[in-house]
């Protein structure tokens, strides 16, 4: 699990960050797949917030699976496109953060916000309901924000979402599906009666029930509308009204049509003239939290006017005119039963607390994060201690401190490992983060699984289970061994038929031709990430040139300082034997379109014209469409660089092109202010067509 330092929410190092990403992705995947996530919303939000903060401080270390900037943490899936991106909300956790946020909104709009709408943040599942001529025809989950899952089978089981509206209009209403306390109790009674396990909490119950198609029973849920927008078939008059109405007016219109809103609850949406008034309403709603017949995990504050919303704009993940004010943390005392020592893919050894199971904010906590051996000693933690455990609103979950006055004298010191718990080798204890002396060779499964991931070598069909089989069978001691596998090797494995074997061999063969930047990313060189790997590959052009470079030469690459350069040199030396094996196996070690640096250390000009984006700095914003729709942001950046350009995340005077997709907000506006040329995704795809499918 993660290791922490300092105040809550701060990731101490790369190992803590990687563990946090893994935890967040697993939590999001469980939630959006089954609704059975062990983490509550507040805890997940804090985890993602800590990940984002670490990435902001270390942009060159961003992992490909990071949930940052992704709706639903990048875990949700769906095949029904949204007409307008269905985004998440960013969070604040204190009045000071909220005031700072409101000031940022007014800086974007260039004027005081006309008013703030304040409403409860319902703890359920976001969903869009599409009406055609007043009839409910489709239900779609938020999914990844650009497309969601069709759950129209749930029509008729959701209170507050009528099958017929009061008027024969065509539009989409968006809101939250949840179970009230009463519905939750009824649902569990029905579920248990049919031999099922009870739902963990109302949120998970709603998420699982919304997707369930083949149950022998149905359970009731409730819908609360928080917005409405036109569909392509909406009349021009209604579309104009929806686009120009205030948020308050839209909710009133939805209620008049018969759709349920929070207006008739104990916490109806209200407008506030100032940020301070909005905070007062937040306090009122928080005070009513325990009395409400449904769960809330915060309060949503939105700029009420359509003009303010348009001018504030939206990012790729969240609108900039709305925020979620998350409610305070939950903490409980439980018993520290034991400490486990887990080994990461680079050999870092991290402690994890095993707890007496405790219910915190709707889920059972059995494990929690510790920091490192020095921190355990500093806090004098002992097995058998009663410990304060934080879950909601913090890095999830974590042991904060022992409750010393509850000690009985039976507590025992925590035993630190003498050898690596993974392989039995010696441990390097020279730094606070202990590491197996075998490094990556210690945890081969994790190392190989990372290397074959989508943004590295991208070997489809080689999941963790298959990697374990290969390692256990002695067929793979490192990633290079994958390229020596034969058909006979794979057919000898359990559950490997001829078709799956041929497909996997084809995928491995294709991986040999990945560009050098992908190979570098697969090696997991400390001090680098996807962006730095691409820069290194384009600067040095070949692995041989890179491996022969000293720290001074590596510092010439944009974004690499003296300390990082030394780490990269040491890492490449350590990885030398593995690089040699990859080369011998026929893996590509060059970057297409790049040429080695000149003798004086300056980067040589690419051969030919260098591509249509040569000399151009390109920013991508919004959701891509057309032939670019399925490309991740990392893949878009790779495409830009293959075409000769430089990918950038922020618009500035040095930006020469902005590719603005659906939902593009402030970056598009800033480009327009600076006179930077804009292209649609389709126009950009035409410009770089010959590079779209290339590696």
Co-location of 668 and 559 in the same domain: no
Co-location of 119 and 235 in the same domain: yes
Which of the residues are catalytic?
121
Domain that includes residue 576, residue range: 516-584
CA-only gyration radius of the chain, Å: 27
- In eight-state DSSP terms, residue 628 is G
CATH number at residue 574: 1.10.150.20
Co-location of 104 and 238 in the same domain: yes
Co-location of 32 and 92 in the same domain: no
Please report the pLDDT score of residue 22 as a whole number. Answer: 84
Given 511, 531, 547, the domain boundary residue is 511
Given 563, 584, 605, the domain boundary residue is 584
Q: 361 or 101: whose pLDDT is higher?
A: 101
- What would the two tokens of residue 535 be? 């820069």
Please report the pLDDT score of residue 606 as a whole number. Answer: 42
Please report the pLDDT score of residue 214 as a whole number. Answer: 77
CATH number at residue 674: 3.40.50.10190
Residue 6 lies in a domain: no
Please report the pLDDT score of residue 644 as a whole number. Answer: 81
Q: How many beta carbons lie within 10 A of that of residue 440, not counting itself?
A: 23
Q: Where are the alpha helices (DSSP H) in 541-676?
A: 543-548, 551-554, 562-574, 576-584, 633-642, 666-674
Co-location of 338 and 307 in the same domain: no
Residue 426 lies in a domain: no
CA distance 556 to 538: 12
Co-location of 406 and 468 in the same domain: no
Average pLDDT over residues 282-298: 84
Q: How many beta carbons lie within 10 A of that of residue 46, not counting itself?
A: 25
CA distance 497 to 529: 36
Co-location of 132 and 198 in the same domain: yes
Torsions phi, psi for 22 (to 5 deg): -60, -45
CATH number at residue 30: 2.40.50.140
Percent pLDDT > 70 in the chain is 89
Residue 7 lies in a domain: no
What residues contact 557, with CB distance under 8 A and at least 6 apart?
Answer: 532, 535, 536, 539
Please report the pLDDT score of residue 607 as a whole number. Answer: 38
Please report the pLDDT score of residue 567 as a whole number. Answer: 86
Cα dihedral 433, 437, 442, 446 in deg (nearest 10)? 40
Q: Where are the alpha helices (DSSP H) in 464-561?
A: 464-472, 487-491, 498-511, 516-523, 530-540, 543-548, 551-554
Identify the helix (H) or strand (E) that includes residue 157: none
Please report, in angstroms and rounded to a whole number, the separation of the first and last CA atoms in the chain.
Answer: 35
Co-location of 279 and 176 in the same domain: yes
SS3 (DSSP) at 233 = coil
Co-location of 306 and 221 in the same domain: yes
Rounded (to 5) percent helix, strand, coil in the chain: 40, 20, 40
Co-location of 381 and 486 in the same domain: no
Co-location of 335 and 279 in the same domain: no
> For the chain, what is the largest distance between any 2 Cα atoms, rounded to a whole number of angstroms?
78
Using one digit for the tens of pLDDT, what is the confidence trace for 624-678?
998 898 888 878 888 888 888 888 877 887 899 999 998 787 788 788 878 899 9
Please report the pLDDT score of residue 293 as a whole number. Answer: 86
Q: Are 399 and 339 in contact (CB under 8 A)?
A: no
CA distance 300 to 68: 20
Torsions phi, psi for 63 (to 5 deg): -80, 150
- What would the two tokens of residue 519 be? 């190979």
Q: Are 633 and 69 in contact (CB under 8 A)?
A: yes
- In eight-state DSSP terms, residue 134 is T
- In eight-state DSSP terms, residue 695 is -
Q: Are 110 and 311 in contact (CB under 8 A)?
A: yes
Co-location of 163 and 297 in the same domain: yes
Q: Which of 683, 679, 663 is nearest to 671 (CA)?
A: 679
**Per-residue DSSP letters for 258-295?**
T---GGGSSS--EEESSHHHHHHHHHHHHHHGGG-SS-
Query: How confident is the prediction for the chain on average, in pLDDT?
Result: 86
Percent pLDDT > 90 in the chain is 47
User: 358 to each of 361, 366, 397, 670, how far by Cα in Å?
Assistant: 10, 7, 11, 49
Number of domains in the chain: 5
Q: Which of 598, 604, 523 is nearest to 568 (CA)?
A: 523
Instruction: Please say if the pLDDT value at position 226 is more than 50.
Output: yes
CA distance 525 to 532: 10
Give the confidence band of 531 by pLDDT, cuts at 50, 70, 90: confident
Q: Which of 569, 585, 611, 446 is nearest to 513 (CA)?
A: 585
Using one digit for the tens of pLDDT, what is the confidence trace for 171-202?
999 999 999 988 988 888 888 788 776 665 67
Using one digit for the tens of pLDDT, what is the confidence trace for 260-276?
999 878 889 999 999 99
Given 511, 534, 551, the domain boundary residue is 511
CA distance 306 to 241: 10
Helices 181-193 and 202-211 cross at an angle (nearest 10°) of 60
CA distance 41 to 247: 25
Instruction: Please say if the pLDDT value at position 7 is more than 60.
Output: no
Residue 290 lies in a domain: yes
- What would the two tokens of residue 598 be? 């000149």
Please report the pLDDT score of residue 382 as a whole number. Answer: 94
Using one digit for the tens of pLDDT, what is the confidence trace for 395-419?
468 786 687 767 899 999 999 999 9
Give the confidence band of 559 by pLDDT, cuts at 50, 70, 90: confident
Residue 228 lies in a domain: yes
Residue 463 lies in a domain: yes
C-alpha 220, offset from chain centre: 30
Please report the pLDDT score of residue 687 as a whole number. Answer: 92
Cα dihedral 91, 559, 522, 580 in deg (nearest 10)? -170
Q: 362 or 573: whose pLDDT is higher?
A: 573
**Per-residue DSSP letters for 318-333?**
SBSSEEEEEPPP-EEE
Residue 3 lies in a domain: no
Residue 598 lies in a domain: no
């Amino acid at each position: 699990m993660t290791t922490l330092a300092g105040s809550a929410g701060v990731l101490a190092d790369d190992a803590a960050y990687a563990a946090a990403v893994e935890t967040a992705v697993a939590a999001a995947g469980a939630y959006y797949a089954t609704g059975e996530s062990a983490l509550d919303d507040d805890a997940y939000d804090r985890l993602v917030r800590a990940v984002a903060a670490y990435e902001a401080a270390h942009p060159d270390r961003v992992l490909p699976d990071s949930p940052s900037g992704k709706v639903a943490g990048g875990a949700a899936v769906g095949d029904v496109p949204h007409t307008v991106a269905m985004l998440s909300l960013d969070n604040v956790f204190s009045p000071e953060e909220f005031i700072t946020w409101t000031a940022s909104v007014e800086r974007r709009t260039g004027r005081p916000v006309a008013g703030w709408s304040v409403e409860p943040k319902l703890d359920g599942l976001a969903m869009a309901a599409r009406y055609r001529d007043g009839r409910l025809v489709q239900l779609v989950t938020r999914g990844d924000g650009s497309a969601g899952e069709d759950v129209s089978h749930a029509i008729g089981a959701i209170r507050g979402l009528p099958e017929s509206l009061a008027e024969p209009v065509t539009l989409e209403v968006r809101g939250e599906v949840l179970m009230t306390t009463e519905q939750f109790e009824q649902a569990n009674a029905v579920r248990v009666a049919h031999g099922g396990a009870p739902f963990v909490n109302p949120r998970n119950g709603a998420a699982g029930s919304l997707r369930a198609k083949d149950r022998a029973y149905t359970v009731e849920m409730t819908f609360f509308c928080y917005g409405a927008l036109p569909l392509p078939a909406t009349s021009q008059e209604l579309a104009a009204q929806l686009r120009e109405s205030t948020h308050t007016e839209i909710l009133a219109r939805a209620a008049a049509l018969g759709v349920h809103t929070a207006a008739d609850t104990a916490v109806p949406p209200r407008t506030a003239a100032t940020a301070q008034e909005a905070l007062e309403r937040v306090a009122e709603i928080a005070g009513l939290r325990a009395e409400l017949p449904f769960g809330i995990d915060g309060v949503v504050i939105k700029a009420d006017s359509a003009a303010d919303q348009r001018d504030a704009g939206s990012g790729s993940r969240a609108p900039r005119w709305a925020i979620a004010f998350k409610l305070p943390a939950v903490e409980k005392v439980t018993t520290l039963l034991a400490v486990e020592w887990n080994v990461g893919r680079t050999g870092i050894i991290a402690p994890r607390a095993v707890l007496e199971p405790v219910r915190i904010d709707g889920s059972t906590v059995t494990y929690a994060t510790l920091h490192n051996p020095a921190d355990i000693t500093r806090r004098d933690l002992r097995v058998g201690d009663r410990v304060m455990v934080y879950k909601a609103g913090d890095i999830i979950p974590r042991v904060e401190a022992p409750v010393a006055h509850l000690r009985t004298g039976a507590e025992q010191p925590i035993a630190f490992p003498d050898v690596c718990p993974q392989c039995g080798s010696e441990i390097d204890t020279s730094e606070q983060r202990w590491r197996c002396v075998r490094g990556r060779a210690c945890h081969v499964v994790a190392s190989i699984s990372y290397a074959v991931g989508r943004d590295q070598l991208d070997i489809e069909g080689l999941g963790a289970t298959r990697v374990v089989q290969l390692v256990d069978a002695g067929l793979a001691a490192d990633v290079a061994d994958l390229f020596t596998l034969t058909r006979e090797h794979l057919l000898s494995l359990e559950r490997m038929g001829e078709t799956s074997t041929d497909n996997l061999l084809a995928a491995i063969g294709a991986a040999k031709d990945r560009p050098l930047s992908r190979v570098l990313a697969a090696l997991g060189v400390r001090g680098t990430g996807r962006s730095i790997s691409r820069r290194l590959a384009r600067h040095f052009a070949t692995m041989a040139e890179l491996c022969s470079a000293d720290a001074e030469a590596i510092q010439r690459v944009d974004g690499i300082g003296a300390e990082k350069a030394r780490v990269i040199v040491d890492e490449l030396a350590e990885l030398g034997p593995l690089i040699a094996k990859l080369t011998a196996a026929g893996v590509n070690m060059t970057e297409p379109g790049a040429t080695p640096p000149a003798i004086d250390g300056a980067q040589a000009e690419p051969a030919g014209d260098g591509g249509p984006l040569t000399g151009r700095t390109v920013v991508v914003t919004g959701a891509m469409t057309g032939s670019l729709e399925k490309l991740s942001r990392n893949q878009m950046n790779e495409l830009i660089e293959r075409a000769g350009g430089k990918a950038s995340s922020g618009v500035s005077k040095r930006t020469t092109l902005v590719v603005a997709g659906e939902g593009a907000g402030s970056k598009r506006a800033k480009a327009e202010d600076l006179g930077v040329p804009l292209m649609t995704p389709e126009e950009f795809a035409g410009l770089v067509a010959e590079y779209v499918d290339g590696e």
